[in-house]
Amino acid sequence: MIVMILFLIPWAFSNARRWTRKELFFFLILIFLKNIINENINSKSKYFLIYLSILFLFILISNLSGMIPYSITITSFLIASFFFSLTTFIGLNIIGTIYNKGGIWKLFLPEGIPTAISVFLIIIEIISYIAKVFSLSIRLFANMMSGHSLLKILMSFAWTIVWLNFSFSYISIVPMTIVFGVTGLEFVIAFLQAYVYMVLVSIYLNDAINLH
């Protein structure tokens, strides 16, 4: 469903004869993403602009899909977030290998390191490098799951108060007000998590290309 949406967005805009507010909104998003990507990847950003933009939109739509009644947020499942992160991590290593050949191993042992501590440094660098997969997946999963869990708890609490004793139903106004506030916050978090995910991937991509 998300892939179909990603294909339908440019197709819907391609038939328009003049700019609409929706087109302007997506255009501003792309300009915003382009500036962020240029800051992190520098001269080679043009080769990855489309990929990172699609990645951002994919994560964003995945996050927002859970705000639709009777639907789910696939990024709130750890296995799904881990799958996205693992495949992205594998792709970054392939790109780094293509650009640097065998030189990508310099990430684990920078120049000028004393031989006595080189073994320990390599082990630490490998662990921190692999941890990128878990940092991407757990951050996305934890933020999306916690917000939805909080909404579920507040809604259940308010609904229970209404049906427990109708005379005290006015008390449910407090949690219901909080529910509306948290719902708005969830929309913001959905955008921020997609943005953070894209920024982190672009930083990791820059490390793989330029061996930082």
CA–CA distance, 134 with 63 (Å, rounded to integer): 18
Q: Write down the pLDDT at residue 18.
A: 57
Tokens describing residue 151: 């909404």
Q: Is 69 helix (H, G, I), strand (E, B) or coil?
A: coil
Q: Which ranges of the chain have pLDDT less than 50?
A: none
Separation in Å, CA 133 to CA 69, 103, 146:
31, 21, 20
Q: Write down the pLDDT at residue 183.
A: 83
Q: Write down the pLDDT at residue 126.
A: 82
For residue 10, the one-letter residue type is P
Q: Write down the pLDDT at residue 44.
A: 65
CA–CA distance, 198 with 204 (Å, rounded to integer): 10
Give 56: exposed, middle or buried? Use CB within 10 Å, 0-12, 13-18, 19+.
buried
Q: Write down the pLDDT at residue 172.
A: 64
Q: What is the DSSP string of 6-33?
A: HHHHHHHHHT-SS--HHHHHHHHHHHHH
CA–CA distance, 60 with 67 (Å, rounded to integer): 12
Write out the residue range of the structural domain in which residue 105 sits: 2-210
Q: Write down the pLDDT at residue 22.
A: 59
pTM: 0.76
Q: Write down the pLDDT at residue 23.
A: 61
Q: How many domains does the chain fold into?
A: 1
Cα 4 off chain centre by: 19
Express each pLDDT in 123-145 by its tens digit.
Answer: 887 888 888 888 888 888 888 88
Tokens describing residue 108: 């684990």
Separation in Å, CA 161 to CA 82, 164, 172, 207:
38, 5, 6, 53
